[in-house]
Amino acid sequence: MINVFKSITQIRLDDHKSQASEADVLTIDENKIASIFIPAVSPNGAGIDIFVKEGEQVSVGTLIGRRRDFYVPIFSSVSGVVKGRVSRHNPLVGRATEHLEIANDFKKTRAEPLKTISFDSDPKDIIAAIKEAGIVGLGGAGFPTYFKYENSTNIDTVIINGVECEPYLSTDYKLLQYHALDVIKGSELLRLAAQANTAIIVLKKNKTALVEVLKKHLEDFPHMVIRLVQDIYPMGWERALVKRILNRTYNDFPKEAHVIVNNVATAMATAQALLKGEPLTHRTITISGNAITQAVNIRAPIGTPISQIVEEVGGYTTDEVIAFTGGPMTSRPVSDDSYVLQASMNGYTAVKPVSYHSVPCLRCGACNAACPAGIQPIEIKLALDSNNTDRLMKLNVNRCVECGICSYVCPSFIEVADAVIRAKIRVRLQNAKSEIAKKGAVK
Amino acid sequence: MKFIVQPPPFTRRQRSTTGIMYELSALLGLLWIAALVYNFTIAPSYGLKAILMVVVAVVTTLICDVLVGAISYRDKEKPFGRYLFTRIKENYSLVTALIFALSLPIGTPYYVIIIGSLFATLIVKYAFGGFGANIFNPAVFGRIFVTFAFGSQLRAFIGTVPGNIASLTDVGATVTTSFSSLGVKWISDSLAGLNVTMGQLWLGNYSGAIGETFTGLILLLGLYMIVRRICNWRPIVAYLLTVTLTALVVALIAGLNPGTYILLHLAMGGLMYGAVFMITDPVTSPTSMFGKILIGVIAGFMTVLIRIQGGYPEGVTFAIAIANLVSPLIDRFATGMTNNKNLKKWSVILSVLLLSLALNGGLAYYNTQVQNPEPEESQLVLEVTNDLLAEELKTDYVVEVIK
């Protein structure tokens, strides 16, 4: 049944992808990279144990550290000498953090490859191999992949997400174009790891050329199917995908609906690590936006400063830009481009500044109708403006996925999404406070 | 190299509030042109009056804007002229003035228009904080204010009735007033004695409020507004559907022709005008889509209730005022997720609709069957005599002409 309490037509964005997705994928000239910098803090703020000392010689793929909160090994992406620790801005954490500097010796010597496995291996071995290879979600979240598989039972479907619904980004598209077989093999491995019956590769309807490419390889993999979805935003959101493809809903995690969702880039990294023994040391990133000279996808070692990558593709066209890591809907802006490429970064976009003049809210309710999470952004903003935390608690603020649609549709150009994000922080604080108060009462 | 930091998203839909409001003004302008064409065909003085009525309302609201702008000018660094310009541009008083002026009949004196506009802009809009903060629709409350304060001045003609306007049953009254005073209030499917046909009611070429009469044109404008997303379709559809269903039940109970009766309800008393231009005002509606449906149903319920039972000839503005009044309450009720509790939301909407059907149907039954039962024989005889008398008069007239 159509829900008349929500918007019937979905949001179709101008995708700005053509320039980058039609160009060939470039590879950065590694001889120009003097040093790479590996963050010593993981994106969620947890520390990383560093195993190498200053002056130690490392190769491409040498284990240099491991995350403290999850079992995620970190590998060096160039060969050279560990020079020490420097402080650099890290936009994923939101502040300057320590980075391990490795000076490049341009020899590209490779460390011992990882232990490889085959399609006949035990699911437990596959998960262990994923764990050792340090695979994380490459679609933007950076969540450790092994964790999804280790903690899930009764999975019947693995969804491989190639929707890429944010404008500007086209890394997944290029991966599927060049490495279709690797993606399929990786998907098969992930399906085996989850002991699922099917793996579904999901693409947008307008990517018909890719379907042809994939179908050539699919004959050998009977458990794999391709499904196409509409070109709407945010179709690539886990919850939206599970609902659209399988018509299932869940509360917190897809595993409740017996599904695991992974990105195509994650599937490809899995195949390369588990079948070829190459750990995650390089990734492809889309550099685009109307303030970039040449929009292109480029493959670079993890830890390369973004400024260097941008220089490699021709630099900026204007002196003033708004730049962000990822697509324009969800990404937070960055204050400079000196930060380094990390595994979960799929794009760097710089656009010419546009300022929006906001007028008072006319209560049209467009944000309420369009919100894919089904919350009421403008009510949240009004409650936040009037400091009404009690009402915020009732408005399901935590359901927000920060997709940015509420600000996008607002005819008054009000920063609704920003207000909801601030409301989330306030609610989290309030919850923490009441928890502390409760504990105090027990004592 | 300078990196500018502002909140995401960095791409926005091009549709802006200012665009919506000025497109709406243009549509109201079209309605005004239709009113001018009709009034100039009656007499040049009527056409001029129709021009000046709108001009007076617009100028009055503009003066209010300047006045309030001068009072609230604080930021001395910004030049006053520019401050005032943004203020006027972003308070959209033009829309209020147009909706208000087009809802008045042609004989309204200028001072009534001025006082009404002052009340609508200063009290209903600016006293609550200007555009976006007003809890009542300024045009609706301006109209209600002049109805209460200057009811007898709101005439459908200027000076004396000119020859080429069809004479009205009750001098000074609009078609709706005459209709509601015939027999049992609002329970009739006959246009006899009103000198308008159903076609005229939908086309708009009869005298009434200058913009409200063009029911068909307003319906088209409403469809355009829905397609262009200038307004939400939910309140319009809910309102018209509720009135239609309630009128259907009333017609069936009172033994009237349902088709004619529904069309009369939709065409008379500025109902279509209220549905398209007044109840759709987003500022005074709930923000939830559920609420937008619910106010339509509540307004529909109240309109028919006031029409068949209330003390005023028609109830569109009052019904919309009540809908505005309950909007904040509905917003409170709809707090939470928009995509769950659908059953609860539908049952609230349906129960208001059923209440409307039951109450209005019951009142129709009471008013026609209990209070005013079928005319008895003696009355019938009287009517027949009246008819005969009329026949005789006609014959006399014919005889006179022959002579």
Note the pLDDT tens digit of each residue in A252-299. Answer: 888 899 999 999 999 999 999 999 988 888 999 999 999 998 899 999
A-contacting residues in B 72-91 (Cβ below 8 Å): 90
Q: φ, ψ for residue A292 (rounded to 5)?
A: -105, 135
Cβ proximity of A305 and A141 under 8 Å: no
Angstrom distance (rounded) from CA A76 to CA A78: 6
Residue B184: partners with Cβ closer than 8 Å, 6 or more residues away = B254, B367, B368, B371, B372
State whether B11 and A328 contact (CB < 8 Å): yes
- B126 CA to chain A: closest CA distance, Å? 13
Residue B198: partners with Cβ closer than 8 Å, 6 or more residues away = B191, B260, B263, B264, B267
Cis-peptide, bond into residue B9, ω within 30° of zero: yes
Q: What residues of chain A lie within 8 A of the CB of B7, using their CB?
A: 333, 407, 415, 417-418
Nearest CA in chain B to A331: B8
Average pLDDT over residues B258-262: 92
Count Cβ atoms within 10 A of the Cβ of residue B243 and give its class: 0-12 exposed, 13-18 middle, 19 or more buried.
Answer: buried
Cβ proximity of A226 and A203 under 8 Å: yes
Nearest CA in chain B to A396: B336
State whether B9 and A328 contact (CB < 8 Å): yes
What integer pLDDT is reported at residue B54 of this predicted model?
96
| Percent of the residues in chain B that have a pLDDT greater than 90, as a whole number | 52
What integer pLDDT is reported at residue B166 of this predicted model?
47
State whether A14 and B11 contact (CB < 8 Å): yes
What integer pLDDT is reported at residue A236 of this predicted model?
84
- pLDDT confidence band for A1 (50 / 70 / 90): very low
A-contacting residues in B 26-45 (Cβ below 8 Å): none
CB pairs under 8 A between A and B: 169
State whether B131 and A336 contact (CB < 8 Å): no
Residues A300-309: pLDDT tens digits?
999 999 999 9
Checking if the pLDDT of B384 tops 90, the result is: no
- pLDDT confidence band for B171 (50 / 70 / 90): very low
Residue in A365, A396, A412 nearest the CB of B292? A365
Instruction: Write out the two tokens for B177.
Output: 């007033």
Query: If you search the block for the tokens 């909007």, which residue do you land on?
Result: B327
Nearest CA in chain B to A319: B1
Residue in A323, A354, A409 nearest the CB of B3? A323
What three-state secondary structure class fits A87? strand
- B357 CA to chain A: closest CA distance, Å? 23
Angstrom distance (rounded) from CA A264 to CA B400: 97
Residue in B15, B285, B293 nearest the CB of A363? B285
B332 in contact with A, Cβ within 8 Å = no
For the whole model, what pTM was predicted?
0.86
* Helices and strands in chain A, H and E counts: 14, 16
Checking if the pLDDT of A199 tops 90, the result is: yes
What integer pLDDT is reported at residue B373 of this predicted model?
65
- B4 CA to chain A: closest CA distance, Å? 5
Average pLDDT over residues B382-387: 57
A-contacting residues in B 295-314 (Cβ below 8 Å): none
Query: If you search the block for the tokens 């209010």, which residue do you land on?
Result: B64
Mean pLDDT, chain A, rounded, equals 89
CA distances from B72 to A361, B67, B82, B118 (A): 20, 9, 14, 17
Name which of A7, A362, A393 to mutate to probe chain B: the one with the most chain B Cβ atoms within 10 A of its Cβ: A362
A-contacting residues in B 264-283 (Cβ below 8 Å): 282-283
Name which of A363, A376, A391, A408 to mutate to probe chain B: the one with the most chain B Cβ atoms within 10 A of its Cβ: A363
State whether A319 and B2 contact (CB < 8 Å): yes
Average pLDDT over residues A155-168: 90
Angstrom distance (rounded) from CA B103 to CA B97: 10
What integer pLDDT is reported at residue A213 of this predicted model?
84
B396 in contact with A, Cβ within 8 Å = no
Instruction: Write out the two tokens for A404.
Output: 């940015």
Instruction: Write out the two tokens for A241.
Output: 């995908």
- pLDDT confidence band for B387 (50 / 70 / 90): low
Q: What residues of chain B lie within 8 A of the CB of A338, using their CB?
A: none
Angstrom distance (rounded) from CA B39 to CA B277: 22
Average pLDDT over residues B120-149: 92
Residue in A321, A368, A417 nearest the CB of B287? A368
Average pLDDT over residues B259-277: 92
Q: What residues of chain A lie within 8 A of the CB of B340, using their CB?
A: 374
Q: What residues of chain A lie within 8 A of the CB of B18, using their CB?
A: 359
What integer pLDDT is reported at residue B399 of this predicted model?
45
Name which of A4, A169, A348, A397 to mutate to probe chain B: the one with the most chain B Cβ atoms within 10 A of its Cβ: A4
- The domain spans of chain A are 17-30+111-354, 366-442
Residues A86-115: pLDDT tens digits?
999 888 888 889 999 999 988 888 888 888
Angstrom distance (rounded) from CA A268 to CA B342: 42
CATH of A17-30+111-354, one of 3.40.50.11310, 3.40.50.1780, 3.40.50.11540, 1.10.3720.10: 3.40.50.11540
Q: In what order do the strands lie in the sheet with B2-3?
A: A26-27, A296-301, A282-288, A347-351, A320-325, B2-3
